[in-house]
Amino acid sequence: MNTGTKDHAQLSDAFNADEARVNWHDETLWFVRAKRDKAAHNIPEWEALRENASQIKDNVLSNLHDYLVAFEANAQANGIKVHWAANGAEHNQIVYSILQEQGVDRIVKSKSMLTEECHLNEYLEEKGIDVVDTDLGERIVQLAKEPPSHIVLPCIHKKKEEIGELFHEHLGTPEGMSDPVFLTAAARVHLREKFITRKAAITGVNFAVAETGEFVVCTNEGNADMGAHLADVHIACMGIEKIVPERSQLSVFLRLLARSATGQPITTYSSHFKKPRPGQAMHIILVDNGRTTQLGRPDFRNSLKCIRCGACMNTCPVYRRSGGHSYHTAIAGPIGSILAPNLDMKQYADLPFASTLCGSCTNVCPVKINIHEQLYKWRQVIVKEGYADPKKTVAMKAMDFTLSNPSVYKTAGKAGRFVLKHLPFVVSNKLNLWYKQRDMPQPPTQSFGEWYQQNELKNIKKHNNDQ
Amino acid sequence: MRYTNLLYLPPLNNDYMTVGLFIPCYIDQFYPNAAIATLNLLKKLGVDVVYPTRQTCCGQPMANSGFEHLTQGCNDLFIDNFSQFDYIVSPSGSCVLHIKDHLHAENNEEKATEVRKKVYELTEFLTDVLKVEQLTASFPHKVGVHQSCHGQRGLMLAQMTELVAAPYSKPMHLLNMVAGLEIVTLNRPDECCGFGGTFCVAEEAVSVKMGKDRVSDHLHNGAEFITAADMSCLMHMEGILRRQKSNVKVMHIAEILNAQEFN
């Protein structure tokens, strides 16, 4: 989506113009958070499971090279063709060259946030390839020509009536029909034809196992399986951090993933792909695209533990009230706000500030990424690298001067309270963003410091003199 | 300097303890009653309290805006003001968390580490250090408790709904000692109010919406007062309540724990 030069605050402001819709968005996602809580609380060892997952990922990040090379060797031995891509452009070129080789110009694709990150759809469309997203939510946003607003629930920002309109326009459903069962059936008929006729299928990868060379794709709709099983060519795209050392460790992640994402015990389909069936070609593309840079940033490397469950978005009180598109990046919400600055610090300088640092994201994260601490740290980096608003820098320097000098602070405080009391129009106006929808604090006649001087210190002196 | 008020409760074993009272800048300037209540409450519990008059601010507004590198002046001043005390107590979870996480000294890091270790939020100090089991306060009202995020998730003043762990709450434990007080049950017991420091103006739309939603949870569940261990959240919610012309008031937890209001 082209959001121009608008930042998170401006896009959120626009989203909040329709308060009823914000309420609906907030409640829908809070419902998912509540389901997650229920599922987590049904597992007494939940916190130990999170710790275990976090430690497995620590091991992965510390030995990434070895695990990737082992995975490559085992996958090749299984008959999978392995490709390496340093960035999004290389990834897209590899996909295109495979399709060209096979003479394919129409493909199906199941959900893959990596391909969103690399803008694969736009790239392939420019090359004349017809791409159909087969995840229902993704298909909906694709028809609407919008990016997903959530990594697990791509069209969570759309109401069923709006989806009915889209389907009426694109799939020929009756006008005004918004019954979810009817619309889903219509989508199923529409997608079935695509599954049967497309010769190549792209899927994402949730986990890749170094010791076996297999990879796991989790979906609720079975669309990845439909695509991959019917196509002559299966291309799986994965970020290099998706590796796990051993197959047995999948049990930890599969128990955490769906519970964290939607409150389900497990995704409906957790499909293991190990080797191509006879006559099929299977490719896997291992993509860096900034991940090794992030791995080299000590404060931010463990953001690479992310298993893309979306729990941090569902719990984030800001995300629920600003919408996924306000983050103007493929991966929205708290995790997106610590991943995006690594890709482009200037373009995403606003995102680490789009948070109150409440810490709820860190608490729900199934792999224990300290998301809110990393948001704080990114703020420091962004200011130091010179991407802060110059006006803010001036204000902060003035604040530093005032607060470092007790007498300046006292005078400023007194002046501030005087203004609030006697000249309230100076601050109670449209220029003051606090005042726009909130009243100003009522200024007391005395600060605590002044009160203390007048009451306590005198008493103490008297008390000491009496003794 | 000894000044001990032993009127209400027998002295605890606090004879050799001197507490430095850290009053955050916005409480000093806008909410002196919360500070006075904190001072009086501590004195009532037999604690020797001193308020260093040259204190200003912990530096959090700058640090959270990405300007931690400008906070050395605040840090140095804080260390000068408070390093001589046995404990440092403050009626603000957020400011205490900032000191605990980010206070550093230019030359004497050992001194900074010591300060970071001995700074306590008020309800935490009452519960963990003084081990208060009874209070003489009375406040016959329905009270909604706002769990401020930095106190709750940062200082772990209360269990967090995201975690699968046994519930507890230091602020509620204390509020339950107040005669006549009824704590209302909220639909979302620990959602952020949206204040967030400079976030409250930088992200005005979302900040206000979060505040309105938090306030409405308290109102729908019948709160007459909203309290918290952090005045900043309350300042934000008060701004919204007053704009809505609501009769519901905000009150810092120290004022309730110190209240002598009878029916």
The three-state DSSP-derived secondary structure of chain A is CCCCCCCHHHHHHHHCCCHHHHHHHHHHHHHHHHHHHHHHHCCCCHHHHHHHHHHHHHHHHHCHHHHHHHHHHHHHHCCCEEEEECCHHHHHHHHHHHHHHHCCCEEEECCCHHHHHCCHHHHHHHCCCEEEECCHHHHHHHHCCCCCCCCCCCCCCCCHHHHHHHHHHHHCCCCCCCCHHHHHHHHHHHHHHHHHHCCEEEECCCEEECCCCCEEEEECCCHHHHHHHHCCEEEEEEEHHHEECCHHHHHHHHHHHHHHHCCCCCCCEEEEECCCCCCCEEEEEEECCCHHHHHCCCCCHHHHHCCCCCHHHHHCCCHHHHCHHHHCCCCCHHHHHHHHHHHCCCCCCCHHHCCCCCCHHHHHCCCCCCHHHHHHHHHHHHHHCCCCCHHHHHHHHHHHHHHHCHHHHHHHHHHHHHHHHHCHHHCCCCCCHHHHHCCCCCCCCCCHHHHHHHHHHHHHHHHHHHC
Least confident among A177-186, A431-440, B125-134: A431-440
A462 lies in some domain? yes
Host domain of residue B51 = 18-129
Whether residues A335 and A436 share a domain: the answer is no
Residue predicted with more confidence, B11 or A371: A371
Let me know whether A34 and A163 are in one domain. no
Contacts of B170 (CB under 8 A, 6+ apart): B123, B124, B126, B127, B128, B157, B158
Which residues does chain B have within 8 Å of residue A10's beta carbon, measured at their own beta carbons? none
Give the total number of structural domains in chain A. Answer: 3
Of B83, B100, B129, which residue constitutes the final position of a domain?
B129
Phi, psi of B188 (to 5 degrees): -125, 95
Total domains in the fold of chain B: 2
Q: Which of A19-28, A124-133, A382-391 has the lowest mean pLDDT?
A: A382-391
Residues B28 and B113 in one domain: yes
Together in a domain, A431 and A459: yes
pLDDT band at B7 (very low <50, low <70, confident <90, very high): very low
For the ranges A371-380, A405-414, B196-205, B249-258, which has the lowest average pLDDT? A405-414
Q: What's the whole-number average pLDDT of chain A?
A: 95
The 10s digit of each residue's pLDDT in A295-327 is 999 999 999 999 999 999 999 999 999 999 999
**B123 domain-assigned:** yes
| Subunit contact A359:B149, Cβ cutoff 8 A | yes
Supply the pLDDT for residue B6. Answer: 36
Do both B94 and B165 map to the same domain?
Answer: no
Distance CA B186, CA B217 (A): 6
Q: Domain boundary at A355, A388, A421, which?
A: A388
Which of A 347-386 lie inside 8 A of B, CB atoms? Answer: 352-360, 362-364, 376, 379-380, 382-384
How many whole angstroms separate alpha carbon A270 and alpha carbon A261? 14
Domain membership flag for residue A301 = no
Distance from CA of A321 to the nearest CA of B (A): 6
What is the arithmetic mean of pLDDT over A336-345? 97
Shortest Cα–Cα distance, B63 to chain A (Å): 8
Return the CATH number at B191. Answer: 3.40.50
- pLDDT digit string, tens, across residues B174-212: 999 999 999 999 999 999 999 999 999 999 999 999 999
As beta bridge partners, residue A273 has: A215
- Among A23, A43, A318, A358, pick the best mutation site for testing chain B contact (most B Cβ within 10 A): A358
pLDDT tens digits, residue range A251-296? 999 999 999 999 999 999 999 999 999 999 999 999 999 999 999 9
Burial classification of residue A8, based on how many CB atoms lie within 10 Å of its CB (0-12 exposed, 13-18 middle, 19 or more buried):
buried
Cβ–Cβ gap B238/A406 under 8 Å: no
Shared-domain flag, residues B122 and B149: no
Put simply, the answer to whether B64 touches A44 (Cβ < 8 Å) is: no
Smallest CA-to-CA distance from A94 within A215, A213, A236, A208 is with A236
Report how far apart the first and last C-alpha atoms of chain A are (Å, whole number).
76
Question: Of B45, B54, B48, nearest to B25 (Cα)?
Answer: B54
Residue B2 predicted with pLDDT over 90: no
Q: Same domain for A50 and A109?
A: yes
Within 270-329 of A, beta carbons closer than 8 Å to B belong to 315, 317-318, 321-322
pLDDT digits (tens, 9 = 90+) for A174-192: 999 999 999 999 999 999 9
Assess if residue A331 is contained within a domain: yes
Is ipTM strictly over 0.90? yes
pLDDT at A22 over 60: yes
Burial of B131 (0-12, 13-18, 19+ CB in 10 A): exposed
Pairing of strands A200-203, B87-90: unpaired
Domain assignment present for A364: yes
Domain match, A266 and A379 both: no
- Domain boundary among the residues B129, B150, B178 is at B129
The candidate with the shortest Cα–Cα distance to B247, out of B213, B219, B209, B228, is B219
In this prediction, residue A4 carries a pLDDT of 64
What whole-number distance in Å separates Cα of residue A301 and Cα of residue B121?
A: 32
pLDDT of residue B10: 39
Q: Return d(Cα B152, Cα A222) in angstroms, integer.
A: 41
Task: Residue A439: list chain B partners with CB under 8 A.
Answer: 238-239, 242-243
Token digits of residue B71: 């906070």
Residue A50 token pair? 């999170």
Asked whether residue A295 is assigned to any structural domain, the reply reads no
Q: What is the pLDDT of residue A460?
A: 74
- Identity of the residue in B69, B70, B153 whose CB atom sits nearest the CB atom of A359: B153
Question: Residue A23 — very low, low, confident or very high, per pLDDT cuts 50/70/90?
Answer: very high
If you search the block for the tokens 């709904």, which residue do you land on? B161
| pTM across the whole model | 0.94
* pLDDT number for residue A461: 73
Lowest mean pLDDT among A78-87, A451-460, B204-213: A451-460
Question: How do residues A136-158 score in pLDDT, each as one tens digit?
Answer: 999 999 999 999 999 999 999 99
A10 touches chain B (CB under 8 A): no
Tell me, yes or no, whether A98 and A154 share the same domain.
yes
Query: Quick check: A218 pLDDT over 80?
Result: yes
Of residues B79 and A421, more confidence is placed in B79
Residue A212 is assigned to a structural domain of this protein: yes
Residue A410 to residue B55: CA distance in whole angstroms: 10
* A313 and A255 assigned to the same domain: no
Pair B115, B24 in one domain:
yes
Which of A388, A410, A439 is at the close of a domain?
A388
Assess whether A363 and A426 both reside in one domain. Answer: no
Q: Do B235 and A12 touch (CB under 8 A)?
A: no
Query: CA of B221 to nearest chain A CA: how many angstroms apart?
Result: 18
CB contact under 8 A, B239 and A438: yes
Domain containing A246 — which CATH number? 3.40.50
Does residue B122 sit in the same domain as residue B155?
no
The mean-pLDDT minimum among A70-74, A211-215, B5-9 falls in: B5-9
Separation CA B190–CA A148 (nearest Å): 29
For B57-112, write each residue's pLDDT tens digit: 999 999 999 999 999 999 999 999 999 999 999 999 999 999 999 999 988 999 99
> How many cross-chain Cβ pairs, A to B, lie less than 8 Å apart?
217
CA distance B87 to B129: 10
Identify the pLDDT of residue A320.
98
Q: How sure is the predictor about B14, in pLDDT bands with cuts at 50, 70 and 90?
A: low
Chain CA centroid to CA A67, Å = 26
Q: Are residues B107 and B179 in the same domain?
A: no
Q: Tell me: do B147 and B170 sit in the same domain.
A: yes
Using a CB-CB cut-off of 8 Å, the residues of chain A touching B76 are: 404
Among residues B94, B129, B164, which one ends one of the domains? B129
- CB-nearest to B204 from A353, A397, A433 is A433
The parent domain of residue A380 ranges over 1-42+309-388
Look at residue B13 in the predicted model and tell me its pLDDT. 54
Question: Do residues B263 and B50 touch, judged by C-beta distance below 8 A?
Answer: no
What is the average pLDDT score of chain B? 93
Is A358:A376 a contact under the CB 8 Å cutoff? Answer: no
Any domain includes A302: no
Closest A-chain CA to B213: A23
| Per-residue model confidence (pLDDT) at position B263 | 64
Q: A207 lies in a domain?
A: yes
Å between A374 CA and nearest CA of chain B: 12
- Indicate yes or no: CB of B206 within 8 angstroms of CB of A321: yes
Residues B110 and B46 in one domain: yes
Query: Per-residue confidence at B15, pLDDT binned at 50, 70, 90?
Result: low
Residue B11 is assigned to a structural domain of this protein: no
Whether the CB of A248 is below 8 Å from some CB of chain B: the reply is no
Distance from CA of A159 to the nearest CA of B (A): 21
Asked if residue B63 and residue B86 are part of one domain, the reply reads yes
Asked if A169 contacts A176 with a C-beta cutoff of 8 angstroms, the reply is no
Question: Is B246 found in the same domain as B149?
Answer: yes
Q: In sequence order, what are the beta bridge partners of B105?
A: none
